[in-house]
Amino acid sequence: MTKLVLAAAALAILASGSAMAAYPERPVKVIVPWAAGGDTDNIFRPFVLPLQKALGQTVVIANIGGASGTVGAREAKNSPPDGYTLYVVHDYIHLTYYTGVADVNYSDFEPICSVSSTPSVLTASAKTKWKSLKELIDDAKANPGTVSVGATLGSTSHFFPALIEKAANVKFKYVSYDGLAQRMNAILGGHIDLTDGNLTQKGKVDAGQLRFLAIATEKRAPELPDVPTLKESGYDIEYAVTRGLLAPKGTPDDILGKLDMACSEAVKDPAFAASMKAQGTDVKYLGRKEYGEFLRKNDEINKSMAKELGLLKR
């Protein structure tokens, strides 16, 4: 009887190993927790093409928006930990949790890799009267609470202008939108004055539809030589959005390793790199261990930021 039990156990182990070796045997779903057409969607659509080549299996994007990314986060969290449902995140995963917007945190998932980093640019509607950051700040000081900012509340698009608000000692009026696509429609229509943009909108700036006031980098961006940094204007603010992939908690190490290896190949793809350059985004690859450590440190930073800005709820 003991031999039979041991034999059965050995077969189970072999079968499990075989299943791991065969992964992925069917299409892999990548949940983007915002609508199509936003920055995150635009970054990951060109990324999944080399990713599926590296995996040897189809990879499909599922846009599941709502509640500042929380609807998609919950679906990802509750998916089977089998490597067939992945989840796209950026810094919002920390912010929405600590501001009480969401009940899902980064620690509910397994890290796979980071993919990109996008610096923020304070972006104004072309219908506003400001031609510079100084003009905006002077107006905001003279008329507290009248400058409207489109933001996904509790997310990066909320924290970036909030950092400027605090540093400049002004008061903005926040208007909630679920993702960049909605915010862009609003600012292009003149329904809001400001939002957190990036180099993706350069074409609209060149066409006179939007106006870049300041970029949150250490030095001026080569693509935007005429746009000053916030530091030049006296505000010690650097801000960028780092995007990556997570898997549901409990996903086997073998599968996570395969996914990370595929990511490391995908980020080297020339077409992906060209797409990121066109979007004003840096390719930023961190493997499982490094990305996990980045998330841990970023979680602490964002918790401190939420507390400093008076937005901490947890």
pLDDT in tens, 62-95: 999 988 888 999 999 999 999 999 999 999 999 9
3-state secondary structure of 229: strand
Q: Where does the pLDDT of residue 125 fall: very low under 50, low under 70, confident under 90, or very high at 90 and above?
A: very high
Residue predicted with more confidence, 190 or 278: 190
C-beta separation of 62 from 14 below 8 A: no
Show me where the domains of the chain are located: 2-117+242-308, 121-215
What is residue 190's predicted lDDT score, i.e. its pLDDT? 95
What is residue 17's predicted lDDT score, i.e. its pLDDT? 47
Q: Which fold has domain 121-215?
A: D-Maltodextrin-Binding Protein; domain 2 (3.40.190)
Task: Name every residue whose Cβ is closer than 8 Å to that of residue 35 and which is 6 or more positions away in sequence.
Answer: 41, 63, 65, 178, 179, 181, 182
Yes or no: domain 2-117+242-308 corresponds to CATH 1.10.150.120: no
What is residue 3's predicted lDDT score, i.e. its pLDDT? 53
Query: What gap in Å lies between CA 115 and CA 284, rounded to an integer?
Result: 5
Distance of CA 25 to the CA centre of its chain: 28
Q: Determine the average pLDDT of the residues in 156-173.
A: 94
Task: Name every residue whose Cβ is closer than 8 Å to that of residue 123 and which is 6 or more positions away in sequence.
Answer: 187, 194, 195, 196, 197, 201, 205, 210, 211, 212, 213
Q: Where does the pLDDT of residue 183 fall: very low under 50, low under 70, confident under 90, or very high at 90 and above?
A: very high
Q: Where does the pLDDT of residue 180 fall: very low under 50, low under 70, confident under 90, or very high at 90 and above?
A: confident
What is residue 37's predicted lDDT score, i.e. its pLDDT? 86
Q: Which two tokens stand for residue 111?
A: 């890290």
Q: Which two tokens stand for residue 303?
A: 């918790």
Q: Where does the pLDDT of residue 21 fall: very low under 50, low under 70, confident under 90, or very high at 90 and above?
A: low
What is residue 200's predicted lDDT score, i.e. its pLDDT? 84
What is residue 16's predicted lDDT score, i.e. its pLDDT? 45
Query: What gap in Å lies between CA 113 and CA 284, rounded to an integer?
Result: 9
- Going by their DSSP bridges, the two strands 148-151 and 194-197 should be labelled as parallel
H or E stretch including 93? helix 92-98
Residue type at 125 in one-letter notation: S
Same fold: 2-117+242-308 with 121-215: yes
Q: Is the pLDDT of residue 59 over 80?
A: yes
What is residue 283's predicted lDDT score, i.e. its pLDDT? 96
Average pLDDT in the chain: 91
pTM score: 0.81
Q: Determine the average pLDDT of the residues in 171-194.
A: 93
Task: Name every residue whose Cβ is closer than 8 Å to that of residue 198 and which is 6 or more positions away in sequence.
Answer: 39, 118, 119, 120, 121, 241, 279, 280, 281
Q: Is the pLDDT of residue 39 over 90?
A: no
Q: Is the pLDDT of residue 253 over 50?
A: yes
Lowest mean pLDDT among 14-18, 76-80, 123-127: 14-18
Query: What gap in Å lies between CA 236 and CA 248, rounded to an integer?
Result: 37
Q: Is the pLDDT of residue 13 over 50?
A: no
Q: Determine the average pLDDT of the residues in 143-160.
A: 92
What is the percent of the chain where pLDDT is above 70?
Answer: 93
Q: Where does the pLDDT of residue 4 fall: very low under 50, low under 70, confident under 90, or very high at 90 and above?
A: low
